Amino acid sequence: MKFVDEATIRVAAGDGGNGCLGFRREKYVPFGGPDGGDGGNGGSVYIIGDTNLNTLVDFRHSRRFNAQRGENGSGSHCTGHGGEDLYINVPVGCVAYDDETDEQIADITHEGQIVLVAQGGFHGLGNARFKSSTNRAPRKTTEGTPGDSRTLRLELKVLADVGLLGMPNAGKSTLIRAVSAAKPKVANYPFTTLYPNLGVVSIAPHQSFVVADIPGLIEGAADGAGLGVRFLKHLARTQLILHLVDVAPCDGITDPVEEAVMIVKELGKFSVDLASKERWLVLNKVDLLAAEEQEDCCADIVSRLQWQGPVFKVSALAKEGTQALCYDIWRYLQSDLEGVESDEAG
């Protein structure tokens, strides 16, 4: 199935039904009085989280969603039938914005979460509502109010604990294959990853975390070069970013440090918040260096980057150092979770 992470749809709630103007007219009831019933409420539109969906591709074909209108009231104090609500299934991780105001309407983070996105119209009142001691035969009714309608911009942000960041061919897909059961495409050319891939890393029974692999960035990505930065939003929910650096570029010309600095600049152009997230440096493909060169090469990269955070030396292809990396990630995620819980308790 094609991966689509953005879509625009039009939602319209149902209008409320109109109130009825009616009077009792029976042979032996000369003063029957008003009996016009109220209209029915219009149906509302909701979006609901569905873990069976992982893309917004269906919304490329179905763009308009209308809830039912409320029926008009009728005589004999009969209230019109209310319009049925409309529920739109979206993937967990979907964020809905009002396309005109850019206001965030909904953020779907779990299965079954329901959010109202368009309120149905309120029913109109029949003339029986306006009967009083001074007005025994009212001819006043009200019309139902219109239901809300708006254009929604849907964005899918995958739910992952850890995100992989780096240049094309830095080894991100190879790493996610090495530590999880995910099988993204791996090849010896740039941009083999065209859309985000998720992998579940199992540390022990009931102990796991989710890793997201996104397409690589190149210089000018913030201005649209390569695949641009449109996939960086999938790192927004992560707690930790792994910055993968190829320590042994195959062309012998590329400088890993320059590439790493460029990635950080592109990240900062896209989002200051994303650039400030916890980020670990992962020096990949160390197996391509001679044993005596590994230490000096890695130390040189760390020194020139003036890197202050954690550093890991791995070979994703040979699965060297990946286990230790995963255990450290798990410990970090657990400590971060405990910190959040203690803050909430306090």
Nearby residues of 320 by Cβ (< 8 Å), 6 or more positions away: 286, 287, 314
Tell me, what's the pLDDT at 275? 84
Q: What global pTM score does this model have?
A: 0.74
Helix (H, G, I), strand (E, B) or coil at 297: helix
Do 55 and 1 touch, CB atoms closer than 8 A?
A: yes
Q: Are the beta carbons of 62 and 23 closer than 8 angstroms?
A: no
The residues spanned by each domain of the chain are: 1-156, 162-345
Q: Map tokens 């008009």 to a residue.
A: 72
Position 251 scores a pLDDT of 56
The DSSP bridge pattern shows strands 149-156 and 162-166 to be unpaired
User: Average pLDDT for consecutive 10-residue bins of the chain (346 residues)?
Assistant: 77 95 79 88 96 85 93 91 95 91 92 95 93 87 94 88 85 87 58 67 84 70 53 81 85 79 84 87 90 87 90 92 92 76 54
Is the CATH number 3.10.180.10 carried by domain 1-156?
A: no
The full length of the chain comes to: 346
pLDDT score for 190: 47
CA pair distance 167, 177, nearest whole angstrom: 17
Question: What pLDDT does 140 receive?
Answer: 92
| Distance from C-alpha of 287 to C-alpha of 322, rounded to nearest angstrom | 13
121: Cβ–Cβ under 8 A, 6 or more apart, which residues?
A: 13, 14, 15, 16, 41, 42, 69, 70, 144, 145, 146, 147
Residue 301, both tokens? 């990269």
| Rounded Cα distance, 262 and 271, in Å | 15
- Residue 231 backbone class (left: φ over 0; alpha: ψ -120 to 50; beta: rest): alpha
**Residues 88/65, Cβ–Cβ less than 8 Å:** yes
Give 162-345's CATH code, choosing from 3.40.50.300, 3.40.309.10, 3.30.428.10, 3.40.640.10. Answer: 3.40.50.300
Distance CA 83, CA 72 (A): 11
Q: What is the pLDDT of residue 199?
A: 83
